[in-house]
Amino acid sequence: MNFAIIGATGNVGRKTIEVLEKSKIKVKKLFLVASKRSAGKNIKFKRKKIKVEALEKYNFGKARITFFAAGKTIAKKWAPIAAKKTIVIDNSSFFRMQKNIPLIVPEVNSSAIKNFKKTNIIANPNCSTAQLVVVLKPLHNKFKIKRVVLSTYQAVSGAGKAPMDELFTQTKKCLTGKKSISKNFTKQIAFNVIPHIDKFTKNGYTKEELKIEKETKKIIDKNINITATCVRVPVRTSHSESVNIEFKKSFSLKQIRHLLNNSSACKVVDQQRDGGYITPVEAEGSNFTYVSRIRKDYSNKKTLNLWIVSDNLLKGAALNTVQIAELLIKKYIK
C-alpha cells in the first residue's frame, strides 16, 4: 500500500516517518509533501532518499492513506480535496469535533472508526487528550468518572519545530547574558513556564484547555465533567499531566494499578521513593503512556491523584495516527 505525509518536514511529519519505518505496515511507496520551501529536499525512509514534493503540485491519488501533519489551515483547505482520492488521517484540530468525523485513539474507541467512509477523514486528538484518555478509559469502565481536574506541563515540541528551536536558542542566549526576543511564545520560555497555550476564549479558558475537555467527552463519555489548565514548560519532548479524578464508585489503589498495568497503552512506574516516578526526559521515544504518583486524594471521597507522562510526538501524534492506519488495514480496507 502507498502512503503519503503532508507536512513531512515538521515535528510530527518527521516522527511519522520514523514510526512508519518501525511499524509492521508494508509500505510500498511513501510520498513526502511539504511547502514550496522544502520542495526538492531529500529525506531518508528505510535507507532510501525520498524527494519532498510541494503540496500544490502533489497528486493525492498516489497514496491509499495520507497523514496530514501541516496544521489546521492546510487541513481545512486540502483535506477535503485529498479525501476524494485517499483516506486522510489528520493531526490538526480542524475536524476533531465535527459530528461525522471519527476522533480515534485505537486502544480507547476503535469501533468509532467504522463510519469513516462518510467523509474519508479521520481525526487524531490533541496530544494532551491522547495520553489522558488511555489512562481514563479503563478507570471509567470500572468506577465511572464523575469529574477530572487537570493541569498540563506541555513540552515545546508540541507547538512545532520553530518554537522548539526557540527554546534552544533562547536558553543559550540567557546563559551567555545576551538579550533574546520571544517570537513563538508570548513570554520568555527558557527558565520559565507560561500558563497559556492556544488562543484565549471569552470564558477565560484557552482553546487548548477546551480541546482537552471536548475531545475527552467525544472519545470516552459526554457525561465526564472536566476542567483543565494548560501550561507550556521548557521541556523539549513529552507532556506531563497532574490529574485529579473523582469517581462515582469506590476504588482501591490495588485495583487502579491492576487496571492500568493491564492496559496495552500504559505502564505504571510508581515506586513511591526518590526517583521512583517518570519524568518527560525518560518518556521521550517511548510508545507508552506512563503513570506515576498514584495516590488517594484524602481531601475528597472516591478521588484519585495521578501523574501522567507521554511522548507528545508519539502517542500524542505520529504513533496514534499510524495505529489508526493499522486499524484501518486490519479491519476496514484492503
Q: Which residues of this chain interact with ligand NAP, rule CB under 6 A?
A: 7-13, 34-35, 37-38, 55, 69-72, 74, 91-92, 127, 157-158, 160-161, 312-313, 316-317
Which residue type occupies 8?
A: A
Instruction: Give least dist CB 8 to ligand NAP, A.
Output: 6
Give the contacts of 233 (CB within 8 A, at least 6 positions apart).
153, 154, 155, 193, 240
Cβ proximity to ligand NAP, 158 vs 268, nearer residue: 158
Cβ proximity to ligand NAP, 119 vs 312, nearer residue: 312
Instruction: Give least dist CB 235 to ligand NAP, A.
Output: 12
**CB 106 within 8 Å of CB 85:** no
Instruction: Report how far residue 75's alpha carbon sits from residue 92's, in angstroms, rounded to the nearest whole number.
Output: 7
Cβ proximity to ligand NAP, 127 vs 139, nearer residue: 127
**CB 151 within 8 Å of CB 262:** no
Instruction: Report how far residue 11's alpha carbon sits from residue 63's, in angstroms, rounded to the nearest whole number.
Output: 21
- 230 catalytically annotated: no
Which of 140, 230, 239, 266 is catalytic? The answer is 239
Rounded to whole angstroms, what are the CA distances from 179 to 168, 169, 173, 174? 14, 11, 7, 7
- 127 catalytically annotated: yes
How many CB atoms are located within 10 Å of the residue 134 CB?
26
Nearest Cα to 224, choosing from 119, 147, 113?
147
Cβ proximity to ligand NAP, 102 vs 316, nearer residue: 316
Cβ proximity to ligand NAP, 53 vs 270, nearer residue: 53
Instruction: Give least dist CB 130 to ligand NAP, A.
Output: 8
Which residue type occupies 243?
A: V
Instruction: Give least dist CB 126 to ligand NAP, A.
Output: 6
Instruction: Report how far residue 227's alpha carbon sits from residue 233's, in angstroms, rounded to the nearest whole number.
Output: 19
Instruction: Give least dist CB 76 to ligand NAP, A.
Output: 11
- Report which residue's Cβ sits closest to ligand NAP: 10
Give the contacts of 326 (CB within 8 A, at least 6 positions apart).
23, 24, 25, 106
**CB 16 within 8 Å of CB 67:** yes
Q: Report the catalytic residues.
A: 127, 239
